[in-house]
Structure 1
């Protein structure tokens, strides 16, 4: 085989269309902030506990699930709140948390793989 017979293809192909659902710069920055919030094992577990509760959950029921202090849990919940994954409301001495469905939908859409169109 001579050098003339070798065809070099760019990685990823030169004609691969970019899907309409692909992230722009702002969306990528937003997504990175969400993934950064979820990259900590405690926060990921907190998110899982809150999302699986099927509604709101009192911090008094969340804290005993962990072997860390209450202030540490509060810090991690604050990070989840600031990333837009959960919201909360103080009722007396307790704070209740719930997942934000629109953010979870956005996250699952971001992670979904589009189905190829029928040929």
Structure 2
């Protein structure tokens, strides 16, 4: 996996997550499935729903990954990892709770992946 992706995801380093957008799409394309698998592990952790830092890191990484997939035309290569992450989101509650009308963290991931697949 690219060193920056490894650091951002491995250390949940929100301060460096924005730096992912400085990388060329072609520079990170080969590691996108691996990054998606790591995001799946993070989003399935017990404290993900209450950990704002992890949610922000995942959201930024998903945006970077889906952009790179779209720009490199590599959806077929990463479809298994995309669908695996999407399916893991379906194992969680995707409906907003109480008065909160904001999407749940897993619903946000599922929505981003669905959008990537359909584009």
TM-score relative to the length of structure 1: 0.26
The structure where helix makes up a greater share of residues is: 2
The structure where strand makes up a greater share of residues is: 1
Asked which structure has the greater CA Rg, the reply is 1
Which structure has more relative contact order (CA 8 Å, sep 6+)? It is 2
